[in-house]
């Protein structure tokens, strides 16, 4: 029984991340149908689901007893990612947070990657403005960090251009999640036409995000990854699964 409980604890974070992805897809599909839930307010429902998923993920990650060194690294990387976002806020689509969050997950693991992304969104919005978009940003950047961990499992020594491509794709994935929130909350009716129009309107910003991610890695990525790995070895931080 004890081993079973330990196994479920280790897998709870992954199940919660799977739930996050499934919930985003469900909300997208359900909002197209006026027959679902009597044409309810999908924007409000999406916000509630985002809060619920974040709560589940934070609870899941609390099951892992983190050392003070691990917590210090998460706090430092989260603060760095938040601070890096503020000076670039006047440039549409340029988001260093994505680059820093993905690499944090790649080196330090799933929990660290998610927590760095989620905390960076929350902290930076104290300067840039909190609102109903904050939980969606926390979820989107948290998923970006978690995906870095999964990437490290498949490609522990990833080639430079493969990581550039991965970060490039996250420019559009992040935009897809945030566009979904905007479409659910502010666009009516929910049809394929309005859905595609919403995404088309943000294509240039999402493209800038993708290009910015790639450029950050090309100029700073390999050196920054080496620094993170050096800290991981020096502090003997084990990657969280």
Q: Show pLDDT as tens, one digit a residue, over the chain (241 residues).
A: 333 333 334 455 566 666 667 766 766 666 665 444 444 566 677 777 777 777 777 776 666 666 677 788 888 999 999 999 988 888 888 989 999 999 999 998 888 899 999 999 999 999 988 888 898 999 999 999 989 999 998 888 888 999 999 999 999 999 988 998 888 878 877 788 888 999 999 999 999 999 999 999 999 999 999 999 888 887 665 555 5
**CA nearest to 141, candidates 85, 223, 195:** 85
The set of residues, in sequence order, having a beta carbon less than 8 Å from that of 53 and lying 6+ positions away, is 16, 19, 20, 23, 139
Q: Assign a CATH topology to domain 65-234.
A: Arp2/3 complex 21 kDa subunit ARPC3 (1.10.1760)
Task: Please report the pLDDT score of residue 1 as a whole number.
Answer: 35
Sequence spans of domains, the chain: 65-234
Q: pTM for this one?
A: 0.81
């Amino acid at each position: 029984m004890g081993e079973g409980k330990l196994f479920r604890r280790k897998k709870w974070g992954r199940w919660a991340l799977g739930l996050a992805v499934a919930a985003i897809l469900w909300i997208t599909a359900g909002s197209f149908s006026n027959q679902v839930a009597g044409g309810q307010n999908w924007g409000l429902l999406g916000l509630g689901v985002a809060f619920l998923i974040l709560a589940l993920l934070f609870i899941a990650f609390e099951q892992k007893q983190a050392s003070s060194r691990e917590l210090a690294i998460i706090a430092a990387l989260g603060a760095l990612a938040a601070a890096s976002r503020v000076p670039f806020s006047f440039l549409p689509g340029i988001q260093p947070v994505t680059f820093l969050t993905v690499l944090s997950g790649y080196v330090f693991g799933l929990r660290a990657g998610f927590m760095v992304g989620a905390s960076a969104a929350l902290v930076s919005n104290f300067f840039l403005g909190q609102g109903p978009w904050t939980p969606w940003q926390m979820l989107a950047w948290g998923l970006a960090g978690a995906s870095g961990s999964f990437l490290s499992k498949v490609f522990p020594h990833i080639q430079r251009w493969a990581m550039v491509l991965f970060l490039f794709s996250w420019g559009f994935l992040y935009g897809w999640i945030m566009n979904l929130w905007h479409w659910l909350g502010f666009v009516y009716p929910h049809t394929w036409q309005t859905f595609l129009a919403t995404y088309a309107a943000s294509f240039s910003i999402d493209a800038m995000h993708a290009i910015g991610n790639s450029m950050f890695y090309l100029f700073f990525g390999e050196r920054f990854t080496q620094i993170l790995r050096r800290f991981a070895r020096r502090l003997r931080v084990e990657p969280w699964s």
